[in-house]
């Protein structure tokens, strides 16, 4: 059976930053499961800032997640898949897991504890102009009043974060940094200590895009120049505090365009990208250090993952590699050929055993068969060959066949 491995290129996390909890055993709610069946769990990965044909724009992989969630019992994915600026879609069996945390989960260092609700805090960059800051606070109040989201308090960083973004010339991936990371960490620490928040949304003022880069992105070409440094920001918070975090950039509204690609259009309908972040964080699972037998019985582990689905040439991340090279139960790994990126991290480069599919239609069919306990190849013409004998073993210098 083909196996899959998921990877995210981010540093290791220190277990001292994560609370060790005694969680209640929770699965992604599946009362229809028979007593002898456990939940079928799938991981969907579309790395951010790599120009993915599907998932490289404004939440355009969300339809895939919706379809996949209707087939599996539990779907684990990350904000780049689920965030669509002002748009989002609630799915009770989907876990919203930040990319750095997903890497640690795949490696077996962290477990995921599903929760009922998080207390969400908000950090605003001091570099955001007053009018734009007011717009974001109004969006938060709208989410609290109209959606009932538990956003409990906000704070403003003590100095502007000063975000910088660029494209890595070595691989074409967007990336960047913040000049004042300590200011962000102080703000998050204040919310966690004084308000006891369980998750944090961050809004940083981003430099406005170059006109040519913006036009390419709005027309469904090139890469998202914001996404790479957004990941840097959320990884920094999750690494240091061990709680769910997601980021929404603060930008001036783009000029009106009469020619716009539908997969980029979600970012054109408001002043902020914050609503999807708040919705995702409100029920995001908590991260628990996987260091005891008790936790293994009460949280979702990497060993619980049955399948992983990712773009054909984005197989080199920490999470993907961890799933592929695990010494324990290996999940089925599915590589989608239609979803190409600017990377060249093919399965062959990492000696990953995968099932290659042309598109997400086929991928979901493979997962449906796998969940049903069916060899996916048996659904294809002439893909099942004659059964082979087991290899010979040697005893006292004589070859003995193990075949009956």
> Are 174 and 227 a contacting pair, CB within 8 Å?
yes
Cα separation, 101 vs 241, in Å, equals 11
Reported for 391-394, long-range contacts at CB under 8 A and 24+ positions apart, including other chains, are: none
162: left (phi over 0), alpha (psi -120 to 50) or beta: left
pLDDT in tens, 211-246: 566 777 777 787 888 899 999 999 999 999 999 999
Beta-carbon-side half-sphere exposure of residue 110 (alpha carbons within 13 Å) = 31
Q: What is the mean pLDDT of residues 24-28?
A: 47
Q: Return the structure tokens found at 139.
A: 């969006």
Nearest partner of 206 among 227, 183, 234, 185, judged by Cα: 227
Beta-carbon-side half-sphere exposure of residue 375 (alpha carbons within 13 Å) = 9
Q: Which residues pair with 110 in a beta bridge?
A: 289
pLDDT in tens, 320-365: 999 999 988 899 999 999 999 999 999 999 999 999 999 999 999 9
CA-to-CA separations, 185 to 109, 127, 159, 236, in angstroms, rounded: 23, 16, 11, 8
Q: Return the structure tokens found at 349.
A: 């480069």
Q: Return the structure tokens found at 148.
A: 């009932």
Cα separation, 261 vs 281, in Å, equals 28
Residues counted in the chain: 404
pLDDT in tens, 365-391: 999 999 999 999 898 888 888 888 888
For residue 61, the tally of other CB atoms under 10 A from its CB is 27
pTM attached to this predicted model: 0.86
Q: Which residues pair with 399 in a beta bridge?
A: 394
Return the percentage of the chain with pLDDT > 70, whole number: 85
Annotate 19-56 with three-state secondary structure.
CCCCCCCCCCCCCCCCCCCCCCEEEECCCCCCCCCCCC
């Amino acid at each position: 059976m083909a196996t899959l491995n998921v990877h995210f290129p981010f540093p290791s996390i220190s277990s001292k930053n994560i609370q060790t909890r005694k969680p209640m055993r929770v699965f992604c709610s599946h009362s229809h499961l028979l007593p002898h069946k456990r939940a079928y769990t799938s991981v969907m990965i579309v790395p951010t800032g790599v120009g993915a044909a599907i998932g490289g724009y404004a939440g355009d992989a969300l339809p895939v997640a919706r379809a996949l969630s209707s087939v599996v019992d539990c779907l684990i994915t990350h904000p780049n898949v689920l965030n669509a600026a002002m748009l989002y879609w609630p799915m009770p069996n989907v876990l919203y897991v930040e990319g750095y945390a997903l890497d640690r989960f795949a490696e077996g260092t962290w477990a995921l504890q599903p929760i009922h609700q998080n207390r969400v805090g908000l950090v605003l960059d001091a570099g955001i102009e007053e009018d734009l800051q007011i717009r974001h606070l109004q969006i938060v109040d709208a989410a609290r009043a109209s959606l009932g989201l538990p956003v409990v308090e906000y704070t403003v960083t003590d100095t502007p974060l000063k975000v910088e973004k660029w494209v890595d010339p070595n691989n074409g991936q967007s990336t960047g940094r913040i000049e004042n990371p300590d200011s962000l960490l102080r703000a998050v620490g204040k919310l966690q200590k004084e308000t006891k928040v369980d998750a944090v949304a961050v809004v940083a003022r981003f430099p406005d895009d170059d006109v040519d880069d913006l036009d390419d992105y709005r027309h469904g070409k090139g890469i998202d120049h914001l996404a790479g440094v957004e990941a840097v920001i959320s990884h920094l918070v999750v690494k240091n505090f061990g709680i769910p975090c997601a980021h929404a950039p603060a930008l001036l509204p783009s000029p009106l365009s009469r020619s716009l690609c539908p997969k980029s259009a979600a970012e054109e309908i408001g002043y902020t990208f914050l609503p999807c972040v708040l919705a995702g964080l409100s029920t995001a699972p908590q991260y628990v250090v996987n260091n005891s037998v008790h936790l293994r019985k009460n949280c979702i582990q990497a060993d619980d993952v049955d399948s992983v689905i990712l773009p054909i040439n984005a197989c080199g991340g920490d999470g993907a590699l961890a799933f592929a090279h695990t010494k324990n139960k290996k999940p089925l790994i599915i590589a989608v050929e239609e979803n190409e990126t600017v990377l060249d991290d093919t399965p062959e480069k990492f000696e990953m055993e995968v099932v290659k599919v042309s598109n997400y239609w086929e991928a979901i069919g493979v997962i449906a068969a796998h969940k049903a306990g069916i060899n996916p190849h048996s659904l294809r013409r002439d893909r099942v060959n004659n059964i082979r004998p087991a290899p010979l073993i040697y005893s006292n210098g004589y070859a003995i066949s193990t075949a009956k």
